[in-house]
Amino acid sequence: PLNLGMIAAYYYVQYETIELIAASLTAKTKVRGILEILSHASEFGTLPIRQGEEKALRILARTLPSKLPDSAQFSDPRTKALVLLNCHFSRKPLSTDLRTDQKRVLCDSINLIPAIVDVISSNGWLKPALAAMELSQMVVQGLWNKDNVLMQIPHFTREIVGRCEAYQGEEPIESVFDILTLDDDIRNDLLRLPDDKMADVAVFCNNYPNVDVSFEVQDSDEITASDPVQIAVKLERDIDDEDDEEDDVNESDLGKVAAPLFPKEKREGWWIVVGDTATNTLLSLKRVNLQRSQKVMLEFMAPDEAGDHTLTLYVISDAYLGADMEFEVPLS
For the stretch 250-302, pLDDT in tens is: 777 778 898 989 999 999 999 999 999 999 999 999 999 988 899 999 999 88
- Confidence (pTM): 0.94
- Report how far apart the first and last C-alpha atoms of the chain are (Å, whole number): 26
Quick: pLDDT tens for 124-158: 999 999 999 999 999 999 999 999 999 999 999 99
Buried b (16+ CB within 10 A) or exposed e, 29-51: bebebbbbbbbbbebbeebeeee
Quick: pLDDT tens for 39-94: 999 999 999 999 999 999 999 999 998 888 888 899 999 999 999 999 999 999 99
Residues in the chain: 332
| Spatial CB neighbours of 7, under 8 Å, sequence gap ≥ 6 | 13, 18, 115, 118, 119, 122
Cβ–Cβ < 8 Å for 302, 226: yes
Among candidates 85, 73, 1, 70, which has minimal Cα distance to 35? 85
